[in-house]
Structure 1
Amino acid sequence: MTRKQRRLTMIGTAGAVLALAAGLIFWALSDSVAFFNSPSDVMAKRLPPEQRIRLGGLVKEGSVVRGEGTTVRFEITDKAVSIPVTYTGILPDLFREGQGVVAEGRMTGEGSFRADHVLAKHDENYMPKEVADSLKAQGHWQGDKGADAPK
């Protein structure tokens, strides 16, 4: 084998090992990746049960029910569709009805959502970008009126 052939063989082998490593990394991370969906998106896409997603929208007024221990049931809505959510754990301090929220978890076979994590807004002007974009696209929220106006 000539010197040039050995070099090409080494480069080809290194490229194949690198491609294999990248493929294994992407395959391992595929379970932890969660894409954002609004309640309308979830119903339109008919996502398979147990697929990990982020569900975002507003906490529906009058839907928060505290169960035994730290279990809480509530609904996330985008003003068009509401999805019931069950969460066991401590909710963020700023979680309340009518506010923006993003829950990460899995859909169940019955059409409800089982959340692992719940993220709430951090001040009175914040709403997760995905939630705001979804509500704006449906015409239910225009953003902070006057927020961009010069003072």
Structure 2
Amino acid sequence: MLGQPEGLDETSPIFSIAAAAELAGLHAQTLRQYDRLGLVEPARTAGNTRRYSMRDVGRLRQVQLLSSEGVSLEGIRRILDMSDENRELRARVRELETALADAVMQQQGRRIFAAGSAGIQTLRAGARPSKPGSVVLWRGPTR
């Protein structure tokens, strides 16, 4: 990301409890309660001080929104757990799709084509189309 210090991303634990509470529009005691309940689990420093990331702050806002809509804290915990599992499963599917595409591209005898706004182009084995959004077709060897 542009302008972002090296090694920092949305999961970097950089906010104190006071800063995270202010960003989320909550009281620091509420953040401590959510931590005890496992709704948001901030990182800890060597001195056991809580440190929140931007992802944690977003999660706090999500908890606040669900709570204001009348969802119980147990219901919120379940929703967040399912959301986390869904995110992990989607990442795994992307990994498997990439691995499958790579395996198919490495097979001998495959003729590979990409069709996009620039027309149809033949690709050599192992190559990917230069334009995102191209549809890639391959035909196995005839028997």
TM-score normalized with structure 1 length: 0.28
Answer 1 or 2: which has greater strand percent: 1
Answer 1 or 2: which has greater helix percent: 2
TM-score normalized with structure 2 length: 0.29
